[in-house]
């Protein structure tokens, strides 16, 4: 009997590996393979007209934070690179905060509607996903540009006398990314709030807790998985955003994604672009680990 059970168990194991093998091959060659190529390129020497020369070099990794003086070949901090990194992290963090500040009340409103109207509100939230990202970015550009709807309306009201310069600034990029990624925050928050037991609110009020205390000690700890999921879905793509900073930033207010494209394009420094890509990947991994750790700590509200 034991031998028969072992044979069945071995057969099940072989079948499981047979089912998983195609996915493992796809991940290896379609995901890990290109990343490995980028990693190898980051340790090579840039070619004269793009591409790489197969000569080992650490210049690309050093060039992320330092630049070499063309006269005495001494290294100094690459202020422009650090500015781009800081702008990317700052705008991504602010985008996450703004989308949460707008998305949480929106998700709470939808989750507390009757079931019939709730589907309609969710439908309205998902409509932006039907439109291309570039079109949505140009749409917000039409709103905030000097002759756009916002400035025209403010001038008509007499609030301002001349248009406010919004486009081609960090504020424009922030507005654009918050607009683009807001649905990615609302949907996970709605999923978490929809499972929330509203009787806990009544229990909190019966114990003479204020609304702020109920929000801080009851609601937020319970819906924290939705907050973490929404933050990941917003922070990660906004950190590597390319289209929105390119259109609304005008090429001057670059983020990491634009800087990487510049290295593979006009600068023709593929190793530096590869090193920047791997650095972006590491930043994303650190952010994910931070969020996962925060979620694990918050899994027990009273722990």
- Determine contact, residues 268/50, Cβ cutoff 8 Å: yes
For the segment 53-58, the average pLDDT, to the nearest whole number, is: 91
pLDDT tier at 250, thresholds 50, 70, 90: confident
- Determine contact, residues 231/98, Cβ cutoff 8 Å: no
In this structure, what are the phi and psi dihedrals at residue 175, rounded to the nearest 5 degrees?
A: -60, -45
Per DSSP, helices labelled H in 112-163 are 115-126, 133-144, 149-157
pLDDT the model gives residue 302: 47
Give the burial class of 138: count Cβ atoms within 10 A of its Cβ; 0-12 exposed, 13-18 middle, 19 or more buried. Answer: middle
End-to-end CA distance of the chain: 47
Q: Which tens digit of pLDDT belongs to each residue from 265-285?
A: 888 899 999 999 999 998 888
pLDDT the model gives residue 301: 46
Superfamily of domain 78-297: MetI-like (1.10.3720.10)
The residues with which 76 forms a beta bridge, in sequence order, are 67
Q: Which tens digit of pLDDT belongs to each residue from 93-131?
A: 999 999 999 999 999 999 888 888 888 888 888 888 888
Per-domain residue ranges of the chain: 1-39, 78-297
pLDDT the model gives residue 86: 92
52-53 and 45-46: which strand pairing? antiparallel
- Could you identify the residue written with the tokens 């680990």? 289
**Half-sphere exposure of residue 241: CA atoms within 13 angstroms, side-chain side:** 36
Q: Which tens digit of pLDDT belongs to each residue from 73-88?
A: 778 888 888 999 999 9
- Determine contact, residues 48/269, Cβ cutoff 8 Å: no
- Choose among 78, 220, 243, 224: nearest CA to 173: 243
Q: From start to end of the chain, where are the E strands?
A: 45-46, 52-53, 66-68, 75-77
Structure tokens at 68: 């070499």
pLDDT the model gives residue 303: 44
């Amino acid at each position: 009997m034991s031998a028969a059970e072992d044979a069945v168990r071995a057969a099940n194991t072989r079948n499981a590996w047979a089912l998983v093998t195609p996915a493992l091959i796809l991940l290896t060659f379609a995901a890990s393979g290109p990343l490995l190529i980028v990693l190898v390129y980051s340790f090579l020497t840039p070619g004269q007209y793009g591409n790489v020369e197969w000569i080992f070099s650490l210049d690309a990794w050093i060039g992320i934070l330092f630049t070499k003086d063309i006269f005495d070949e001494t290294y100094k901090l690459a202020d422009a690179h650090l500015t781009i990194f800081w702008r990317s992290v700052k705008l991504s963090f602010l985008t996450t905060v703004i989308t949460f500040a707008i998305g949480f009340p929106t998700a709470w409103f939808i989750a507390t509607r009757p079931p019939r109207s709730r589907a309609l509100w969710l439908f309205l939230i998902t409509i932006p996903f039907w439109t291309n990202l570039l079109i949505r970015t140009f749409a917000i550009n039409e709103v905030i540009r000097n002759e756009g709807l916002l400035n025209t309306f403010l001038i008509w009201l007499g609030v301002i006398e001349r248009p406010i310069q919004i486009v081609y600034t960090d504020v424009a990029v922030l507005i654009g990314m918050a607009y683009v990624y807001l649905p990615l925050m609302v949907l996970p928050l709605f999923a978490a709030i929809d499972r929330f037991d509203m009787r806990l609110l009544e229990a909190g009020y019966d114990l003479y807790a204020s609304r702020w205390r109920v929000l801080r000690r009851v609601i937020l700890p319970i819906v924290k998985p939705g907050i973490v999921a929404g933050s990941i879905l917003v922070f990660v793509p906004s950190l590597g955003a390319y289209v929105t900073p390119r259109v609304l930033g005008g090429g001057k207010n670059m983020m990491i994604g634009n800087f990487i494209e510049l290295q593979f394009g006009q600068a023709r420094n593929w190793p530096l672009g590869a090193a920047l890509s791997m650095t972006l990947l590491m930043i994303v991994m650190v952010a994910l680990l931070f969020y996962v750790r925060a979620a694990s700590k918050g899994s027990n509200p009273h722990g």
